[in-house]
Structure 1
Amino acid sequence: MCLGIPGEVVELMSGHEDLAMVSVEGVQRAVNIGLLRDDDSAELDLRPGDWILIHVGFALSTIDEAEAKASLEWLTGTGDAYTDELDALRASDITDGAGLGEGAR
């Protein structure tokens, strides 16, 4: 089962306008935020502390903190499906493909 999980934006990654470092339950990973733009030229109104809904390394939408916390509480109760999703997040790393390497994490 694949889930969309809430994550908090930690930083927007300079030099990579479509990437943000996001924290999910203490696991930090780069996430592609390009889908949050209305079009290719649109400025993205996203900053550290904002919450996003993530699926397979892509931010699908922004959500407010109350919705994020309620979702995390519910997801924690789902057991294996959520644990599997966190394990997949821990194992993922899109930074290598972006040329960021070890020093970016």
Structure 2
Amino acid sequence: MCLSMPARVVEIGEKKCTAIVDYLGSRIMVGVELLEAVETGQYVLVHAGEAIQVIDEEQAIQSLDFWKELLE
């Protein structure tokens, strides 16, 4: 089974091929080359270190709330 995790884009890399994302308080660098465009503040699905899709903020927050419950 493969999982992708929602994360908020905090910073776009200089060459626009990477971004720093925040996932439940952890900041990690991910690739964003698979996306046509990504902006700071947007939520993306991250799988295997790559942002694979921009998602709706409401959907991302619901998913993050679910993960928080599971991890408690």
Q: Distance in 1 between matches of 2:67 and 2:3?
A: 9
SS of the residue 1:36 aligns to: coil
Equivalences for residues 73-92 of structure 1 within 5 A: 73-79=65-71
- Specify which of 40, 43, 56 is matched with residue 48 of structure 1: 40
1:66 and 2:55 aligned = no
Paired residues in the alignment total 72
Deviation >6 Å, runs of 4+: none
- Residues 1:32 and 1:7: Cα distance change in structure 2 (over 3 Å): same
Q: Distance in 1 between matches of 2:67 and 2:24?
A: 11
Identity level (%): 33
Q: Distance in 2 between matches of 1:34 and 1:78?
A: 30
Equivalences for residues 1-105 of structure 1 within 5 A: 2-14=2-14, 16-37=15-36, 44=37, 46-79=38-71
Shift of 1:2: 4.2
**Which stretches in structure 2 are left out of the alignment for 5+ residues?**
none
| TM-score normalised over the length of structure 2 | 0.86
RMSD (Å) for aligned C-alpha atoms: 1.8
Q: Distance in 2 between matches of 1:21 and 1:27?
A: 10
Shift of 1:73: 1.5
**Which stretches in structure 1 are left out of the alignment for 5+ residues?**
38-43, 84-105
Q: Which is helix-richer, 1 or 2?
A: 1
Q: Distance in 2 between matches of 1:78 and 1:36?
A: 29
Shift of 1:6: 0.5
